[in-house]
Structure 1
Amino acid sequence: MIRTTAIFATLWLSLASTVAAQESPVVVELYTSQGCSSCPPADAYLREQLAGREDVIALALHVDYWDYIGWKDEFANPAFTQRQHSYARAAGHRSVYTPQMIVNGQDHVVGAHPNKVERLIEAHKAAPELVDLQVIRNGATVSIAASTELSTPMNVHVVRYRPAEKVSIKRGENAGKVFSYANIVDDWQNVRRWTGRSDLAMEVSIDGSAPLVVLIQRENGGPIVAAARLK
């Protein structure tokens, strides 16, 4: 469960016994499915090459549109399918596919093409930072503060994921295979709209110990302009 309330900036300075998030990693979203025979190489790339990096936040979002083939993906969420469609609309694309990776909400690439993904990651790392984002956890409370010179509608997202799971596929295109998955998104919530005209200061109450990611993203499938992670 996540609850949000506004806070004063002075509270940010007075926090004790806190854990601070790493600044400015590049977000890579993988749209995948257990029922997709083309997805395992992309799943393995995310697990083996991206999930452990400090300069990357790799998130696996399992979609539900391959469930009809014969295997229902236990990680799939219709909201993730809708998020992928939102990206497609923003880019002027007529359809979606798996495996697809989207880098910082902006660049779309086939997830099984790691060389292209790596080049995009490096390009985004070299880009100027548009938002100063700070995220600190104090027990069950996460404090989020941000400032920017942008003046555009943005949303603050809070994402929870499980680091690893192993699944034995019984039916469908991948029947008989066992796959290990990483950074599986369980919960994605849009917790606040922010225009950037004034500094952002807010609290989020969290349950459990799963890793947490805070993203600030322009509306309607726009670019991710800031990200931070708490493991």
Structure 2
Amino acid sequence: MQAQGRAVVVELFTSQGCSSCPPADEYLHELAKRDDVIALALHVDYWDYIGWKDIFADPAYTARQRKYAKVAGRRMVYTPQMIINGQEDVVGNRPQDVQALIAAHQAKPAQVRLHVTRAGRALQINARDVSGAGQSWDVQLVSYRPESPVKITRGENAGHDFTYANVVTGITRIAQWQGNTPLSLNAKAPGDGPVVVVVQRAGLGRIAAAQIAK
């Protein structure tokens, strides 16, 4: 069990219309069971034209993936791609490579201490920047569905039934925090389902802390 806020965030950019994505989608189920990882599936829309429109796809997630690429100096995006703690990218159907990056991020010193409590839909978020760098952080609220079954009838994955893990249903920046003072913030979950509070370097930089609030 990791200390509160210290779980490594794995964002899988995937598509129901991508024939190489099912192994990565399945692997995300394994990651989602771990206490030291927060696994999130963000479905992109740029494969919708090849015969099957991904019912979970959102242009906002495509934009997030493209911004990650721009920040990192990469020229292209792809599926299945995993972004580890907002920094490294790796092909999502290569578990050994993914695990190596997760372990590397677990070994890094903490930059932010995060504590989230939930009562109904009310969230209390407290954080402290322990890096001493006085950085600017985005505080984001990510909602997701733990399991989402889909029957695919067209496209590259036609004829298959899949159950997707931790499908992201929304990402909202709820605050921009200057880390030179402690953060104490009240927020409201968008529904009764689980949410993740993510503290990320402004501009889609390193994710310094994240915690699930169920």
TM-score interval, normalised by the smaller of the two chains: over 0.9
CA contact (8 A) 1:22 1:229 kept: no
Q: Which residue of 1 aligns with 2:69?
A: 88
Indicate yes or no: 2:188 matched with 1:205: yes
* Contact in 2 for aligned 1:63/1:76 (Cα 8 Å): yes
Q: Which runs of 5+ in 2 are unaligned?
A: none
Indicate the residue corresponding to 1:58 in structure 2.
Answer: 39
Q: Is 2:200 the partner of 1:217?
A: yes
Per-residue CA deviation, residues 36-86 of structure 1 (Å, 9 max, x unaligned), is 001000000001x20111100000000000001111100001000000011
Q: What amino acid sits opposite 2:117 in the alignment?
A: I
| Cα RMSD, aligned residues only | 1.2
After superposition, where does 1:145-160 map in structure 2 within 5 Å?
145-148=126-129, 149-160=132-143
CA positional deviation for 1:189: 0.4
Quick one: which of 117, 123, 129 aligns to 2:110? Answer: 129
Please show how residues 1-231 of structure 1 align to structure 2 within 5 Å.
22-47=4-29, 49-148=30-129, 149-231=132-214
> 2:6 & 2:138 partners in 1: Cα distance?
17
Residue deviations 1:1-53 (CA, integer Å, cap 9, x gap): xxxxxxxxxxxxxxxxxxxx943100000000000001000000001x20111
TM-score by length of 1: 0.88
Q: Is the 8 A contact 2:45 2:62 kept in 1?
A: yes
Deviation, 1:224, is: 0.3
TM-fit CA distance, 1:209: 1.8
**Percent identity (aligned):** 55
Task: Tell me how far 1:199 sits from its aligned partner.
Answer: 1.1
- Whole-Å Cα distance in 2 between the matches of residues 61 and 177 of structure 1? 20
SS at match of 1:23: coil
Unaligned runs of 5+ in 1: 1-20
Equivalent residues of 1:160, 1:187 under 8 A apart: yes
Whole-Å separation in 2 of the counterparts to 1:190 and 1:79: 13
Partner secondary structure for residue 209 of structure 2 = strand
Q: Give the partner amino acid of 2:108.
A: A
Q: How many residues align?
A: 210
Is the Cα–Cα contact under 8 Å of residues 16 and 157 in structure 2 kept in the other structure?
Answer: yes
The separation in 2 between residues aligned to 1:55 and 1:116, in whole angstroms, is 17
Contact 1:162 1:210 in 2 (8 A): yes
